[in-house]
Chains A and B, each alone.
Chain A
Amino acid sequence: MRDQTKERRARTSPISGRPSLRGARIWTAALLMVGCVAMAHASKDAQLPDWVLQAATDAPLKADWRDAKAVYLLEDTLITVQPDGRPVERYRAVVRILRPQGRDEAHPVTWFTKDEKLESFHVWSIGPDGHHYAMKDSEYIESGDVGAGEGILYGDIRMKVASPPGADPGGVVAWEYVKQLSPYFAEDTWGFQNRVPTVRSVYEIDLPGGWHEEAVWARHARVETAEITPGHFRWEQANIDGIDLADVPLAPDWEALAGRMTVHFSADPLPEGDALWSKIGNWYYTLAAPRSEGGGDVASTARTLAGDGDFMAKLAKVADFMQQQIRYVGIEIGIGGWQPHPAQDIFRSRYGDCKDKATLTVAMLDAVGIRGAWVSVDDRRGVIDPNAPSLFGNHMIAAIEIPKGYENPRLQAVVTTKSGRRYLIFDPTNPYVPVGQLPDYEQGSYGVLAAGDDSQLIQLPILNPDAESIERKAKFELAADGTLKGDVTVLRYGALSDGMRGRLAMDSDKEQRELVERLLQHDFSTFTLGDEKVAHVRELDKPLEMDYSVTAPLYAKGAGSLLLVRPRVVGSDAEGLDEKPRKVPISFTGVGTWRDDFDVKIPAGYTVDDVPDPVSMDVGFATYHSEVKAEGGALHYKREYVLKKLELEPGEYAKLRKLEAAITTDENSDAVLKKQ
Chain B
Amino acid sequence: MGLTYRRFFLFLTVFACLPAFGAANWRQPTADELKMTSDPKAPDAPAVYLNRDEYMDVKGHYDRIYARIKILTEKGRLQFSDVEIPYRAGVLNVRALEGRTIHSDGTIIPFTGQAYSKELVKAGGVRVMARVFSMPDVQVGSILEYQFELQYDDMWIFFPEWTLQERVFVHEAHYHFIPYPMDLNSSNLLMVPDPQGRLTPATRLQYDAQLPPGARFQDLPSGTDLVMNDVAAIPDEPYSPPLSSFSYRLFYYYTGNFSAQDFWKGAGKSWSQKVDRFATQPDVIGRAVAGIVAPGDTDDQKLKKIYEAVMTVDNTAFSREHSEAENKAEGLQVKTAADIWAQKRGTPNEIARLFLAMTRAAGLKASAMIVTERDERVLNANYLHWEQLTDEIAIVTVEGKEMYFDPGERYCDYGKLHWKHTQVLGIRQTDNGTEAVLTPAADYKDSVVERKATLQLGPDGKLQGTITLSMTGVEALRWRQVALRNDEEETKKRIGEELQTLVPDGARVKTTGLTGLTDESQPLVATLEVSGSMGTATGKRILLPGSFFETNVRPLFPEDRRENPVDLHYPYAVRDQVKIALAPGLTVDSLPTNAQIPFPKNADYIAKYGGSGSVYQQARLMALGKTVYSKDEYPELRDFLQKASAQDQQQVVLDRAPVSASAAGGSGTNQ
Contact = CB atoms under 8 A, between A and B. Distances in A.
Given A100-B487, A610-B539, A522 B119 contact: no
Interface string B314-333: 00000111110110111000
B653 interface: yes
B652 interface: yes
A24 B598 CA distance: 43
A295 to B, nearest CB: 16
A50 interface: no
A82 interface: no
Interface string B123-139: 11100001011101111
A411 interface: no
A285 B391 CA distance: 60
A564 B653 contact: yes
A349 B134 contact: yes
Interface stretch (A41-49, A55-63, A210-218): A41-49
Given A154-B132, A327-B77, A668 B560 contact: no
Nearest to A329: B134
Given A145-B118, A350-B138, A506-B74, A153 B132 contact: yes
Nearest to B553: A525
Nearest to B136: A349
Interface string B210-221: 000000000000
Contacts of B614: none
Interface string B602-622: 000000000000000000000
Interface string A499-513: 000000111111100
B565 interface: no
Interface in A110-163: 127, 129, 131, 133, 138, 140-145, 153-156, 158
Interface in A80-114: 99-101, 103
Contacts, number: 253
A416 interface: no
B82 A521 contact: no
A642 interface: no
B645 to A, nearest CB: 4
A325 B322 CA distance: 52
A226 interface: no
Given A40-B325, A153-B82, A154-B132, A610 B541 contact: yes
B83 to A, nearest CB: 9
B354 to A, nearest CB: 20
Interface string B627-671: 000000000000000110110111111000000000011111111
Contacts of B136: 348-351
B642 A36 contact: no
A516 to B, nearest CB: 9
B295 interface: no
Given A67-B489, A99-B486, A557 B649 contact: yes
Contacts of A480: none
A525 B645 CA distance: 6
A113 to B, nearest CB: 12
Contact of B119 (A41, A142, A331, A561): A142
B559 A559 contact: no
Interface of A is mostly: mixed
A572 B122 CA distance: 48
Contacts of B229: none
Given A153-B132, A517-B560, A611 B538 contact: yes
A504 B323 CA distance: 48
B73 interface: yes
B121 A557 contact: no
A40 B324 CA distance: 8
Given A131-B329, A145-B120, A611-B539, A525 B667 contact: no
Q: How large is the interface on A (under 10, 10 to 19, 20 to 34, 35 or more residues)?
A: 35 or more
A36 B123 contact: yes
Interface stretch (B40-48, B55-63, B360-368, B435-443): B40-48
B537 A612 contact: yes
Contacts of A609: 540
B246 interface: no
A553 interface: yes
A558 B120 contact: no
A129 B177 CA distance: 56
Given A38-B323, A526-B646, A668-B505, A327 B485 contact: no
B262 interface: no
Nearest to A141: B123
B558 interface: yes
B536 A508 contact: no
Nearest to A616: B666
Nearest to A169: B487
A615 B667 contact: yes
A478 interface: no
Contacts of B642: 525-526
Contacts of A42: 323, 325-326, 328-330
Contact of B670 (A158, A526, A668): A668
A560 interface: yes
A332 B485 CA distance: 38
A612 B120 contact: no
Contact of A521 (B541, B554, B668): B554
B81 interface: yes
Interface in B8-60: 43-46
A574 B645 CA distance: 22
Contact of A509 (B43, B484, B559): B43
Nearest to A558: B593
B554 A166 contact: no
Interface in A324-358: 325, 327, 329, 331, 348-351
Interface string A361-372: 000000000000
A661 to B, nearest CB: 5
A165 interface: yes
Contacts of B589: 559-560
Contact of B490 (A101, A141, A167, A672): A101
Nearest to A328: B78
Contacts of B664: 613
B325 A664 contact: no
Contacts of B132: 153-154
A513 to B, nearest CB: 8
A488 interface: no
B564 interface: no
Interface string B290-322: 000000000000000000000000000001111
A37 B592 contact: no
B538 A672 contact: yes
A225 interface: no
A39 interface: yes
Contact of A664 (B330, B506, B540, B651): B506
A509 B592 CA distance: 39
Contact of B75 (A103, A325, A507): A507
B508 interface: yes
Of residues B319, B485, B543, which shows the largest number of chain A Cβ atoms within 10 Å of its Cβ?
B543
A562 interface: yes
A349 B116 CA distance: 15
B320 A103 contact: yes
Contacts of B485: 100-101
B270 interface: no
A669 interface: yes
Contacts of B319: 100, 168
Contacts of A558: 592-593
21 contacts: A100-B486, A103-B320, A138-B125, A141-B121, A142-B123, A143-B122, A165-B325, A508-B75, A510-B44, A525-B555, A525-B645, A557-B592, A564-B543, A564-B651, A612-B537, A613-B664, A661-B671, A664-B506, A664-B670, A669-B538, A671-B538
Instruction: For the complex of A and B, list the 6 residue pairs with the smallest distance between their C-beta atoms, beginning with the closest.
Output: A42-B329, A508-B44, A144-B119, A560-B590, A526-B642, A665-B668
Given A168-B319, A617-B667, 15 more contacts: A32-B121, A40-B325, A42-B323, A42-B328, A101-B487, A138-B125, A141-B121, A142-B122, A165-B323, A349-B113, A351-B136, A505-B75, A611-B538, A664-B670, A665-B665
